[in-house]
Amino acid sequence: MSEITRIETTDIADLARGAAILGTGGGGDPYIGQLMALEALRISGPVELVATENLPDDAQILPVAMMGAPTVMVEKLPSVDQFVVAVNALGQYLGVKPTHIACMEAGGVNSTIPIVAAAELGLPLLDGDFMGRAFPELQMVTATLFGIPTTPMSITDDKGNAGIFNTVSNLWAEKLARVVTVEMGAASIISLYPMRGNQAREAAVAGTLSLCVRLGRAVKQARASHADPVAAVAEVLGGRVIHTGKVLDVVRRTTAGFARGKATLAGLDRNDGTTLTLNFQNEHIIATRESTVLATAPDLLICLDIDTGEPITTEAMRFGHRIALIAAPCDSRWHTPEGIELVGPRYFGYDMDPVRWNQVQLPQ
């Protein structure tokens, strides 16, 4: 059951912070998404939030998202019109009127963009998503595990270009839309995975927008009571802190529409004298301390400021940041053989099996 039944301006700061936490390093600048959502709600009023279990079978759901490198959005903001154009273009192509908007990923700006679209279109928003976190590619969603196709999908840019894709597979949708997104300036707005209510009830990760709000509030309340905000986040997610360290170096590059790179952290406190490496592709994929892999995708790897508990994205990470790294469990469906094939370390080019968030014994 949803914890909240509508999203108001007073929820946005908490939701944006929580979405950045679930973004696992990717998903775009949470502040930008926060500003866009606040403005949309001020103009159009609160957005109704609908629990997945309350969706009627014949609901027509059109998710909306940003595609591209999070680093680009820092300097190239999408317009509100793009969200509406993307949803309307897909609805017109399908010959349907959408009844609900949905998030594809509960991470970063793609948790707030659908709020803007829902507010502008006057439609309710699903309290759920199709990742339970953030992942970098279109096919990396629970909808794929249930045979729901990515296409037809619409794609738009800031220049007014718009198009429709029909592809033979979800992977081909990713490949073709990625090329177009790069040509659009490495950022586009898309509407994809059109589905009915009965499909969404089965495939969605339920309650993730409520979880975002709860995470954001946990950080705020911990700071207000002089408690540990990092511990508060770990408790909400059922995870644990696997490393604390200071950023020594970050190497990142934007290639083929992704922010790829590696961060190196010198250990602090009980991790003093050790070095941890974080490999990321938009999101953090693998955490390795010395020669030991501590955790990998599909479980969540989350970087928080040690003192404030604020999430630190891969594009914002800088030398000197003092970071607590949390590992937390993902939606259990990602650890099925089909899920691992889709989002496990080998897909990202690492010759290893997944290492679960609690698999490695940590020093006391």
Asked whether 245 and 325 are in contact (CB, 8 A), the reply is yes
Structure tokens that stand for 267 in this block: 């250990």
Give dist(CA 203, CA 170) in Å, integer. 15
Per DSSP, the chain holds a count of helices (H) and strands (E) of 11, 17
Q: What pairing do the DSSP bridges indicate for beta strands 240-255 and 322-328? A: antiparallel
Q: Tokens in use for 53?
A: 């279990």
Strand pairing partners for 262? Answer: 251, 279
CATH architecture of 6-208: 3-Layer(aba) Sandwich (3.40)
Closest CA to 106 of 127, 83, 84: 127
What's the DSSP call for residue 253? E
227-348 maps to which CATH number?
2.40.390.10
Distance CA 133, CA 329 (A): 10
Q: Using alpha carbons only, what angle is made at residue 337 by residues 210 and 327, rounded to the nearest 5 degrees?
A: 45
Q: Distance (Å, rounded) from C-alpha 41 to C-alpha 200?
A: 25
DSSP codes of every residue in 324-344: EEEEE---GGGGSHHHHHHHS
What are the distances in angstroms from CA 214 to CA 83, 206, 288?
26, 14, 29
- Could you check whether 6-208 and 227-348 share the same CATH topology? no
pLDDT in single tens digits along all 364 residues of the chain? 446 899 999 999 999 999 999 999 987 777 888 898 999 999 999 999 999 999 999 999 999 999 986 666 666 677 788 999 999 999 999 999 999 999 999 988 899 999 999 999 999 999 999 999 999 899 999 999 999 999 999 999 989 999 999 999 999 999 999 999 999 988 899 999 999 999 999 999 999 999 999 999 999 999 999 999 999 999 999 999 999 999 999 998 766 556 678 999 999 999 999 999 999 988 999 999 999 999 999 999 999 999 999 999 888 899 999 999 999 999 999 999 999 999 999 999 899 999 999 999 987 6
The domain spans of the chain are 6-208, 227-348
Instruction: Determine contact, residues 262/268, Cβ cutoff 8 Å.
Output: no
